[in-house]
Structure 1
């Protein structure tokens, strides 16, 4: 009897242990899929990371189009002063890897989960973020992998021809817009949305604004599609981003603004000479919001009232210490928590250009132009906008490098700020794009797009041109046109890259090949 009791007790204890085995052996700090499903965590938790990775950092932004457009200049002679800034490529794939690894990949998972969990609006949101990302990546390389993304089982993953890509993006914007408009009261995004706190109408305004941006890219290569898509955005009853309160701000997720880290921690970037030429010459009050004054006044003997000194893109540089004393970015960038992804000022300048082109619903070019300047000054907290807009005499100044006269330049632009109804459309467009350029600080890829499609603003050539047959030759009177296809794709997806190269107008995968919308036509009208 005693033995039987012991056996029964053992069975009870064994059952008790195995009954709670899963609970006892579960790591209390591990997040499970079941936990993630609560409050939509499984589909929503990736969005802040995807949004953060929409923007570039050092090698894909600061040492590429920040420099190429003259916003920033490096004091550091990276790789013997022969690098991206002097038109010899050293860094090619950083943004490609960022977009595919940190946006396209997690968005693919979100879209699949949204379908499985019957949460279609999360899938639409992820598709919109994808368009934000791929519209940037294509502005660097041209053809990219989009419609065939995720079909790795096919071996060779085909690239989208740019004309097909833009049509696809416009079609997807239509679908996303329809779904969001049918659910404007939906609150499921709130917990995961650091930009708009889940407000569907705000995302619809961004969608319309992005449509207008993409439409404007096509004005010379496909004017009919550009006009149709642009007018669709302009006429949509939800509207566009038209106030600074509606600006699309991208989260930094606790990170320091990249340009601040590069400027202050690494001392590898400084104000660009082109910005010095334009902003000092035009007496632009935003300059103090963008950059810090120099303490060595001998650097600014040519304009002592404006103590800012920049570095020319592709400069002749011997030693880093020579120019570390030039203007850093404003110290405030160390503490910002978000960066600008799309602003009301950009919308205003897009509408100003649309008005010049006669698009329905664009309004008046002068009004939009001045609104763009006013919105930018207000956004940055700069004073003096009325005097600035009335200035019909101030022009960009000559740039003088106190360390090496080989970097000096005379500005190609003689633009002023005040609007003149008697100017030609071409000169009016130059004013619009120049002010758009000055307003687009820290979101500089769009300025590089505008420059390639319009030729504005008129910026100097690089001082030191190291382009070669390795990556493509840029003529002395020209500027870099694109980044080549990334090395891993050239070797691992060679057949698709070879086909994508035929999509380029030159048939060459080099830095001198124009993108689809970058036509060689000299006139913009």
Structure 2
């Protein structure tokens, strides 16, 4: 486990409604053995920690839930992918009819599998085995920042309460707790990273080590926590610049962030998109990404997507009124998801490329990113992504000041055609405004971030970049105003039923209607430098 997260088994399956209902039942037994049976060598926390890792994406044992957890919402909203399937007669997330039956999956999965197990680890070993508690904190923040960035206010600090009403935390309060928890985890792990600490848990023999020393592994967990702290700091940079600066500068100190592809954090498993793309044929390339990569003549295209029958890379525009031609009769006119997702056997959690782009943005804001300039971080991010994806040397791509994204043409329906929106070249220019520099940084960060649509969607909302294609059809009945993008997912219906007073408070904290047009706390619409 030197530079990757490994599959460690132990799958949890609970019957779970609202985020805190039946808490005692779902928290009572994670494995077939009791806590007493497993106490030796902290085995009693290994199962819940392994389950937390595995539950970040709902995998093959429950594919359809994974599809609605992230693929038919964030992956589409990010512009990375699109569906050729006319779900609900084309009245679905793609056309901004937000389906409650789909969009609660991330919430349900996170509370059932992440929060329950994080609380169990805390209760078992917070004092007796602090490094395990630290790991649980990192995993919890990684999982739950996706939930709050989907919905806004969430149940967090009061999770586990048996009160009739469980209060929501504002998104600001949730982020403040995230930062505290990540710093706590790093503080706990730092002594282990600076000493020759023995461990039989952080290291697995599969990674080629002897399974006896946790030294290198603990450092990499610290770098993962710091990188996540940097991501979250940047997320709040437009709403709370002072807090963002302090957290970002703190993240790059000490052991710092992930800096090389050897330190990238992956979960080793077949990506569930493999099922959605190849077996079910429910997902294809997104028009926004193929337009961008085709225009830039990006060599990563061949890893991200397959070629069509005509030898091109062709996406589908969000909001298209698709029919059987898109999925069956003429489906080969559109690109499927490529080998970097389907055949790599790994799901990316955090990469050096993302860390470098975050530092580039920090640099144009005047933050101390530990050395380097905005340009050097920006160009390093592109180079790291090329290397990660086996796309060769990035020099000519980085220095191209001519190519622009191409216009989108739908081979089956001209009503979906649209001119290119994100009209910036790749090459860096110190003479450009900070806004243009940011557009370049986020554009390349967005391209490098594929296939993580959850992060891609969050960053396009925060910055407005890259400029994506609006959906061809918006059937939201005005809840998401024409000319705007979806900003969030509704709170789950079961929360209205199982925790009505808490839900009402959550809507109040949201500061707007519980629909897809209401912006989250950090989504200000104005970039600050």
Larger Cα Rg: Structure 1 or Structure 2?
Answer: 1
Distance 1:268 1:510 in 2: 25
Distance 1:444 1:267 in 2: 18
Distance 2:483 2:390 in 1: 37
1:517 aligns with 2:527: no
Q: Which residue of 1 aligns with 2:288?
A: 274
Structure 1 counterpart of 2:256, from 239, 250, 264: 239
8 Å Cα contact 2:258/2:355 also seen in 1 = yes
1:189 aligns with 2:201: yes
Cα offset, 1:203, TM superposition = 0.6
1:346 aligns with 2:354: yes
Cα distance, 1:375–1:332 mapped onto 2, change above 3 Å = closer
Cα offset, 1:321, TM superposition = 2.2
Q: Which residue of 2 aligns with 1:317?
A: 322
Distance 2:464 2:340 in 1: 32
Please give the residue correspondences for 1:162-311 in structure 2 after superposition, counting only pairs within 5 Å: 162-184=171-193, 185-186=196-197, 187-190=199-202, 199-234=217-252, 236-252=253-269, 256-295=270-309, 297=310, 307-311=312-316
Gap regions ≥5 residues in structure 1? 1-28, 298-305
Distance 1:337 1:50 in 2: 19
Q: Which residue of 2 aligns with 1:93?
A: 104
Distance 1:274 1:232 in 2: 35
Structure 2 counterpart of 1:379, from 388, 401, 415: 388
Cα distance, 1:267–1:514 mapped onto 2, change above 3 Å = same
Classify the secondary structure of the residue corresponding to 1:518. coil
Gap regions ≥5 residues in structure 2? 1-30, 59-65
Q: Which residue of 2 aligns with 1:134?
A: 144
Classify the secondary structure of the residue corresponding to 1:182. helix
Cα offset, 1:412, TM superposition = 1.2
Classify the secondary structure of the residue corresponding to 2:103. coil
Map Cα deviations across residues 240-265 of structure 1 (whole Å, 9 max, x no partner): 1010000111233xxx3111110000
Please give the residue correspondences for 1:392-431 in structure 2 after superposition, counting only pairs within 5 Å: 392-431=401-440
Cα distance, 1:373–1:420 mapped onto 2, change above 3 Å = same
Distance 1:503 1:393 in 2: 46
Name the TM-score, length of structure 2 as normaliser.
Answer: 0.86
Map Cα deviations across residues 405-459 of structure 1 (whole Å, 9 max, x no partner): 1111111111111111111111010000000000001212112111111100000
Cα distance, 1:194–1:417 mapped onto 2, change above 3 Å = farther
Name the TM-score, length of structure 1 as normaliser.
Answer: 0.87
1:84 aligns with 2:93: yes
Distance 2:461 2:298 in 1: 24
8 Å Cα contact 2:284/2:316 also seen in 1 = yes
Distance 2:154 2:121 in 1: 21
Distance 1:203 1:30 in 2: 29
Classify the secondary structure of the residue corresponding to 1:225. helix
- My pick for the range that moved more, 221-230 or 172-181, is 172-181
Distance 1:394 1:438 in 2: 15
Distance 1:406 1:60 in 2: 30
- My pick for the range that moved more, 480-489 or 82-91, is 82-91
Cα offset, 1:323, TM superposition = 5.0
8 Å Cα contact 2:48/2:120 also seen in 1 = no
Cα distance, 1:285–1:62 mapped onto 2, change above 3 Å = same
Cα offset, 1:37, TM superposition = 2.7
Q: Which residue of 2 aligns with 1:146?
A: 156
Aligned residue-pair number: 477
8 Å Cα contact 1:92/1:486 also seen in 2 = yes
Distance 1:193 1:460 in 2: 47
8 Å Cα contact 2:341/2:451 also seen in 1 = no
Q: Which residue of 1 aligns with 2:19?
A: none
Map Cα deviations across residues 319-378 of structure 1 (whole Å, 9 max, x no partner): 232552111111454443321100000000000000000001353000000000000000
8 Å Cα contact 1:316/1:404 also seen in 2 = no
Cα offset, 1:168, TM superposition = 1.3
1:356 aligns with 2:373: no
Please give the residue correspondences for 1:409-488 in structure 2 after superposition, counting only pairs within 5 Å: 409-468=418-477, 473-488=479-494
Distance 2:319 2:509 in 1: 29
Distance 2:43 2:392 in 1: 44
Map Cα deviations across residues 376-414 of structure 1 (whole Å, 9 max, x no partner): 000010024111111110000011111111111111111
Q: Which residue of 2 aligns with 1:6?
A: none
- My pick for the range that moved more, 240-249 or 406-415, is 406-415
Classify the secondary structure of the residue corresponding to 1:249. strand
8 Å Cα contact 1:51/1:251 also seen in 2 = no
Distance 1:357 1:194 in 2: 42
Q: Which residue of 1 aligns with 2:3?
A: none
Cα offset, 1:58, TM superposition = 1.3
Cα distance, 1:267–1:361 mapped onto 2, change above 3 Å = closer
Cα offset, 1:174, TM superposition = 2.0
Classify the secondary structure of the residue corresponding to 1:45. helix
Cα offset, 1:112, TM superposition = 1.4
Cα offset, 1:194, TM superposition = 8.7
8 Å Cα contact 1:314/1:463 also seen in 2 = yes
Moved over 6 A (4+): 192-197
Classify the secondary structure of the residue corresponding to 2:238. coil
State the superposition RMSD in angstroms: 2.0
